Amino acid sequence: MSDSISIASPADFHVHLRQGKLSELVTPHVREGGFSLAYVMPNLTPPIKSTKDALDYKTRLESIDPHVDYLMTLYLSPELTPEEIRKAKEAGVVGVKSYPRGVTTNSDGGIESYEAYYHVFEAMEEVDMVLNLHGEVPSDAAADIHVINSEPHFLPHLIKLHARFPRLRIVLEHATTRAAIETVKSLGSTVACTITAHHLALTVDDWAGQSWNYCKPVAKYPDDREALREVIREGHPRFFLGSDSAPHPVYNKSTASPSHGCAAGIYTSPILLPLTAHLLESFDALDKLEGFVSTFGRSFYGRPVQSEQGAGLVTLRRVVRKVTSSYSRGEDIVSPFWAGRELGWEIVPRQ
């Protein structure tokens, strides 16, 4: 086995960079984790709903770390119009993120019906913007829908949207089930899927009673995790990394009360490339690393790959090291996934 591996232009196609002081803490971790592109989620408070909001947010991120290619998205909401879609496209905004109402962090303003947005999707198809789908439906006890089966219940919406808008590029975000993998594989070339690093490690047993492993969508059964691993070993070009790295202050992650649960989200940005290499190696897919973290996603989104030394190339070396327990800036403290555990790879500092 080689003691080093070089990856051209690692790209994270789903990341939360927050706002305010927390954003100042976590945004530099994109590059610290080995990545030069960040596909930025819009579920701030208030959400990013206009081109101006997206550009202002991008400016703030660039003021924190100007060396990352930030791809911006809008939050699908009733205020979004075909005219705004065209304006956003001209300004360089790449996608629109759909959140079903109430299924994850800052999604209280999410949608309840896709048909109401068909005119927006038509404009997106026309100008070639990407629709990013949080692939769950809200829990409904009367219909026996809950966190374990909310993703399979969403898949008919994906199938219907693709049939109605076959030229619209759609990404099913952070898939967690075998059903989702099989559905995406069955659809056309305009439908892709992101997979997180943490869902390659976790199953339901890991988050039951453990707030630090709790995220939305929740990790599912061992066979679901195996389906994620299988499609990576296969090297399927429409499945690529989107970390869904979602930082929360430690008091929100570690604390729950009788009236309020802990925050949903797992933070992987600072260790993302070494973690992904470690996990892929664990299930015999290390040779698929560059496709999964770079070329497949960049191809789908039409972003160039840089492989020159000192530009887009990132080198990992084999070494055993412990994951840092926490990161802080002022009063803000965040703790990464696998804090205190050992990883088998680290990024070689650039000369």
SS3 labels along the chain: CCCEEEEECCEEEEECCCCHHHHHHHCCHHHHCCCCEEEECCCCCCCCCCHHHHHHHHHHHHHHCCCCEEECEEECCCCCCHHHHHHHHHHCCCEEEECECCCCCCCCCCECCCHHHHHHHHHHHHHCCEEEEECCCCCEHHHCECCCCHHHHHHHHHHHHHHHCCCCCEEEECCCCHHHHHHHHHCCCCEEEEECCHHHCCCHHHHCCCHHHCCCCCCCCHHHHHHHHHHHHHCCCCEEECCCECCCCHHHHHCCECCECCCCCECCHHHHHHHHHHHHHHCCCHHHHHHHHHHHHHHHHCCCCCCCCCCCEEEEEEEEEECCCCEEECCEEECCCCCCCEEEEEECCCC
The tens digit of pLDDT for each residue in 331-343 reads 899 999 999 999 9
Strand pairing report for 313-322 and 239-241: unpaired
In the prediction, which pLDDT does 316 show?
97
pLDDT of 308 above 70: no
The tens digit of pLDDT for each residue in 243-293 reads 999 999 999 998 888 888 899 999 999 999 999 999 999 999 999 999 999
In the prediction, which pLDDT does 1 show?
67
pLDDT of 174 above 60: yes
- Mean of the pLDDT values across residues 137-147? 93
- Mean of the pLDDT values across residues 152-168? 97
Out of 157-161, 259-263, 288-292, 307-311, least confident range = 307-311
The residue ranking higher by pLDDT, 61 or 108, is: 61
- Mean of the pLDDT values across residues 292-303? 98
Q: Which residues are known to be catalytic? A: 14, 16, 97, 134, 174, 244
Q: How far apart are the first and last CA of the chain?
A: 25
Query: Which residues does 206 contact at the CB level (< 8 Å), separation at least 6?
Result: 213, 219
- Mean of the pLDDT values across residues 28-39? 97
Peptide bond into 217 cis (omega under 30): yes
What is the pTM for the complete model shown? 0.95
In the prediction, which pLDDT does 351 show?
64
The tens digit of pLDDT for each residue in 97-125 reads 998 875 556 545 556 679 999 999 999 99
In the prediction, which pLDDT does 55 show?
98
Q: What's the mean per-residue pLDDT of the chain?
A: 94
pLDDT of 295 above 80: yes
- What the block records as the tokens of 324 is 């840092």
In the prediction, which pLDDT does 101 show?
73
The tens digit of pLDDT for each residue in 186-230 reads 999 999 999 999 999 999 999 998 999 999 999 999 999 999 999
Round to whole Å and give the CA distance between 217 and 203.
11
- Mean of the pLDDT values across residues 54-59? 98
The residue ranking higher by pLDDT, 30 or 254, is: 30
Q: Tell whether the torsion through CA atoms of 325, 273, 293 and 130 is positive or negative.
A: positive
In the prediction, which pLDDT does 350 show?
78
